[in-house]
Amino acid sequence: MKIFLKSLAAVLMTTLVFTACNKVEDLPVYGNGTAVQLSATSQSLAATAADSSNVLVTFNWTDAKYATSLANQKYILEMAVAGSNFANSASKTIMGSLTASFTAKEVNDILLGFGFTFGVAGDVEARIVSSYGNNNERLISNVLTINATPYRVPPKVTLPFTGRLYIIGGATDFGWNQANPMPPVRELTPLSETSWGGIFHFSGSSAYLLLPEAGSWNNKYSVQDNSIPGAANEGAFGYNLPQDIPGNFAQGDNWYKAIFDFQIGRYKVTKEDHPMKEELFITGDATPSSWTNSPPPTQKFNMITNGVFEIIMSFEPGKLYKFLDTNGQWQPQFGGDNAAGGDLGANYGGGNDPAAIPTPAVAGNYKVQVNFITKKYTVTLQ
């Protein structure tokens, strides 16, 4: 037993000596860096489609002076709408370099992603977020403000050659009937140079198409495959598709707002809480019949396209008016608080009535337009 204890003691002593002789070195400690200074070759950017592949702007920044080689340093260039505090920013990560260039197409795509309008200048902000390669010691640079103008790119889907767009299909209340001319309720409303929309009652038992020409089946807009999950809600669409499946499935029995964006080639269908009527009337002391829920035919709007109504009225200053979509009822009722136009207030029943719209300060004939797709109204002197 004594021999065994002596042997064990020897082993323990050897282990202790070995451990003491192999001390673990301290981990390396890197110093703090310095926030970089960002600059750009230009802070006013405007290009054309012909410049798309050319470098439009180059960003340069100073060394962050981290305690590792440049190859192990990370720099993230962020761009965002000015004043957004870099929410929803576009970013580009650069390793081992103090510069980054962007082509006109790259800048244009970023601007359009921010929702900028073709040919209209807007401000974006740029900054650098620097760090070690493992994201430690993150530092933020100065912020540059850049005025940039996006250029127009061809729409992804060919625009209607007639400049007009009609809906047809068993999913609609109109069926597959090819009326010529099409009634205004079947004509989608232009929302911009490259987008159209309308409010329709859809059923889920069939499908629909869009036509650029009333009375003709020669050209149509549809989806490539209406069996894709979610195709009733949103997706890509095209023009005269080679393997055309006729339209996309509608949702269940309800009212929907359908928007078709030809610029990006996508559509979106969202549920509407209230039906869109095909009539609209004006009432109030600004009108010949004063305040009544049964205005005469002379106070009935003309439907121009789906969801858009217009009427010409002679207004005097200091009067008020509202809109009704059902003759003989006070609700639904629509109004606003701005003489020149603005957001369209509504009471579909059971809520508070919207404000009455004041007449303009100058007497004259005015065109009043009500748009139920954008939920806006406008008043313009004729």
Long-range residue pairs from 139-145, CB within 8 A, at least 24 positions apart, any chain: 139/33, 139/34, 139/35, 139/36, 139/64, 140/35, 141/35, 141/36, 141/37, 141/38, 141/61, 142/35, 142/37, 142/38, 143/38, 144/38, 144/39, 144/40, 144/43, 145/43, 145/82
Q: Which fold has domain 38-149?
A: Immunoglobulin-like (2.60.40)
Q: Report the sign of the C-alpha dihedral through residues 145, 147, 151, 155, in that order.
A: positive
Q: Half-sphere exposure (CA, 13 Å, Cβ side) for 77?
A: 24
Averaged pLDDT score across all residues of the chain:
90
| Nearest by Cα to 126 from 109, 108, 140 | 140
How far is the C-alpha of 256 from the C-alpha of 276, rounded, in Å?
Answer: 10
DSSP 125-190: EEEEEEEETTS-S-EE---EEEEEEPPP---SSPPPTTS--EEEBTTSTTBT---SSPPGGGBPEE
Least reliable range by pLDDT among 115-119, 286-290, 316-320:
115-119
Q: What ranges do the domains of the chain cover?
A: 38-149, 166-271, 281-381
DSSP 8-state symbol, 245 = -
- Provide the edge-to-edge strand list for the sheet that holds 99-103: 38-40, 55-61, 99-103
Helices marked H in 2-103 — which ranges? 2-21
How far is the C-alpha of 274 from the C-alpha of 199, rounded, in Å?
Answer: 10
**Cross-strand bridge partners of residue 381:** 366
- In terms of residues, how long is the chain? 382
Tens of pLDDT, residue by residue over 256-314, are 999 999 999 999 999 999 999 999 999 999 999 999 999 999 999 999 999 999 999 99
Domain 166-271 - what CATH class?
mainly beta
Say which residue, 281 or 25, is predicted with more confidence.
281
Say which residue, 171 or 314, is predicted with more confidence.
314
How far is the C-alpha of 332 from the C-alpha of 322, rounded, in Å?
Answer: 11
Region 144-153: mean pLDDT is: 95
- Whether residue 332 has a cis bond before it, omega within 30° of 0: yes
pLDDT higher than 90, residue 24? no
Angle at Cα 251 formed by Cα 246 and Cα 257, nearest 5°? Answer: 95
**Predicted local confidence at residue 168, as pLDDT:** 94
Tens of pLDDT, residue by residue over 206-259, are 889 999 999 999 999 999 888 788 888 899 999 998 865 555 666 678 999 999
**Predicted local confidence at residue 30, as pLDDT:** 55
**Predicted local confidence at residue 232, as pLDDT:** 86
Least reliable range by pLDDT among 20-24, 154-158, 216-220, 225-229:
20-24
Tens of pLDDT, residue by residue over 54-86, are 999 999 999 999 999 999 999 999 999 999 999
Q: What is the distance, to the nearest Å, from the Cα of residue 113 to the centroid of all Cα atoms in its chain?
A: 8
| Residue in the block written with tokens 């090819």 | 178
b (16+ CB within 10 A) / e for 276-306: beeebbbbbebbeeeebeebeeebebebebb
Contact 325, 277 (CB under 8 A): yes
Specify the CATH number of the domain 281-381: 2.60.40.3620
- pTM of the entire structure? 0.73
pLDDT higher than 80, residue 13? no
pLDDT band at 192 (very low <50, low <70, confident <90, very high): very high
**Predicted local confidence at residue 31, as pLDDT:** 60
- The yes-or-no answer to whether 166-271 and 281-381 have a common fold is yes
Say which residue, 94 or 7, is predicted with more confidence.
94
| Nearest by Cα to 127 from 33, 40, 32 | 40
Contact 242, 225 (CB under 8 A): no
| Nearest by Cα to 146 from 175, 105, 98, 111 | 111
| Nearest by Cα to 102 from 37, 36, 47 | 47
| Nearest by Cα to 347 from 359, 320, 329 | 329
**Predicted local confidence at residue 308, as pLDDT:** 98
**Predicted local confidence at residue 19, as pLDDT:** 40
